Amino acid sequence: MEFLKHKLYEYNEIASMITEDALSRSYRIIALTGTSGVGKSTFTQMIAKQLTSHGFTVQIISVDSYLKPEFRAGTNFWNRSDSSYLKPEHFDWKELCEDLSTLRSGTPVEKQAYVRGIGWNTVSHYAPSDYYILEGLFLDSVLASEFMNYDLVIALTAEDSIIRSLRVQRDAYYRKTSKTFKRTEEETLLEIENTLRAGKSYSIFPHWDHYLILHAKGAYNATIYIKNL
């Protein structure tokens, strides 16, 4: 990838260059991680769109679906009685690794999925594809790396104040539009602080030996770390 370190890029520019690199180097498994609310899902969709425009099939796999059953709540994502914030050990990395192997062998996979404002009442159908993008928390954690093998890891980060503002706006929207979204504004603020704390505690991308740092402009003004493994 040929980037200028101090240039402020548009997100779609970065997505396009990541796609070109993945195509030229035959990267099939891409991991995209970062704290909650930093824009992972949006950026994942951009990369997927770029890959499909080249005629390839892409399966996005949400790490959320691998939250261990004992930590799941009803309409909320997880049960906070165990811990004040999420940790890598709350997710089943072994199962994620096994499901990825199943998909690459040509067999579809079904997973119970969480949808914000609805809860754990949805099933995701994952299909064998040319490319897989894993999207979610802690993909760069030490625990995840014990099970997972990625070709490319992308980590997004942004100023805490920006993440707080956008998360508050997002939850306010769901409180107005979803009858099953139960999180109060106070709970939102507490969760934001806990997830920011968790990300800083378990993410290891700032300590990578070799990586590329890019700066994106937009709502998040995110810093994007990219590493070929």
> Looking at the domain assignment, is residue 145 inside a domain?
yes
Q: Residue 47: which CATH number?
A: 3.40.50.300
pLDDT value at residue 102: 98
pLDDT at 229 over 50: no
Strand partners, 27: none
Coil vs helix vs strand at 161: helix
> Looking at the domain assignment, is residue 208 inside a domain?
yes
Question: Is the overall model pTM greater than 0.75, yes or no?
Answer: yes
- Which amino acid, residue 200? K
Q: What is the pLDDT of residues 124-140, one digit of tens each?
A: 999 999 999 999 989 98
Question: Minimal CA–CA distance to 90: which of 81, 99, 98?
Answer: 81
Q: Please tell me the total count of domains within the chain.
A: 1
Q: What is the mean pLDDT of residues 85-112?
A: 94
Angle, CA 86 vertex, CA 101 and CA 81 arms, to 5°: 120
> Looking at the domain assignment, is residue 3 inside a domain?
no
pLDDT value at residue 66: 95
Residue 99 CB partners (closer than 8 Å, separation 6+):
61, 109, 111, 126
> Looking at the domain assignment, is residue 1 inside a domain?
no
* Domain carrying residue 100: 8-228
